[in-house]
Amino acid sequence: MRELKLLTGRSHPKLAEDIAEYLGIQLCDVSLSNFANGEISFRLNESIRGNDVFILQAHSESDAGGSINDSILEQAIMIDAAKRSSAASITAICPFLGYARQDRKAGGREPITGRLVVDLFAAAGADRIMSVDLHAGQIQGFFNGPFDHLIARPTLVKQFQAELKDEDFVIVSPDAGRGKSAERFSSDLNCGMAIIHKHRSTSEHNTVEARYLMGEVENKTCIVIDDMIDTAGTLCAAADLLMEKGAKQVYGVATHGVLSHPAMERIDDSAFKKLFITDTVPLPKHRSAKLEVVSIAPLLGDAIRAIYEQSSVSALFGGQNQL
């Protein structure tokens, strides 16, 4: 009988441990290190022949000092090892998929790096890919096989609903690109929504100025939603604008807390009362008191179990189109 084997790289072992505990299993015994010249050394210390193998890696910097590029290559190496060790199936779990924002050519002579990352996993031997809240849903089409796109929205909604009982909500999209996502949040909460038109500086990267607001927010609790917080420029500009327009209080919700510099300083100085994020990537030990972390381990654990038992992953979201 096939067994479920869960492996993890070095970028986010805590998440893998939480998933293993949720599933009631032990993480697969592996050895991971670096040679003197920086090359990655990997070895499986137990047999996985004929088993369903799930290889988890957050594409981010790690506490061990590795970069996002190291994390991606490490996962590809682990996939290759599993394939050569006669795994029955291999699922690459990428809670946060690296380079997902580079999903198309925005200008001439540019790569589509998101496609390149997916192709790397396919070439290494992945039969399936799993990720959470892709920056662009069409990335699923980069892979010629099953691609499970998990949605963190139900988990996040449950969290802030419990904390903000009896509040008059308005869901706010920080830009036009998040409009569909904001619409789904507002449908779940049966509340209104608003959209902010943002202007991004053409002369300086990661500089955002929020300019126009479409929707009614006065005396309401606003919840700004996004798929990720990188430098926090977009979200913090949105929060400041909402308070200027008479919002009662402003909360934020994002799946991926990338939190590149100067995100922490911006969040601390922003109008946000609190920001809800998940742990799809490892988070700094010393972080803003305004951040509240929601575990994504149960969602990933349920999806892993569904794949292993060959049941429906979409049933986790009520069988509805959640993308």
Q: How far apart are CA 30 and CA 42, in angstroms?
A: 7
Task: Specify whether 83 is catalytic.
Answer: no
Which residues lie below 8 Å from residue 156, measured CB to CB, with a gap of 6+? 253, 255, 276, 278, 294
9, 78, 86, 89, 181 from 1: Cα distances, Å: 26, 23, 14, 13, 41
Q: Please give the sequence-ordered ranges of beta strands (E in DSSP) within the chain, or none if there are none.
A: 4-8, 30-34, 40-44, 52-56, 89-94, 128-132, 147-150, 169-173, 192-200, 208-214, 221-229, 249-257, 272-278, 291-294
Three-state DSSP class for 129?
Answer: strand
Which residues lie below 8 Å from residue 277, measured CB to CB, with a gap of 6+? 229, 253, 254, 255, 256, 257, 283, 291, 292, 293, 294
Residue of 14, 105, 165, 198 with catalytic role: 198
Q: How far apart are CA 249 and CA 323, in angstroms?
A: 29
Adjacent-strand bridge partners of 291 = 275
Active site residues: 198
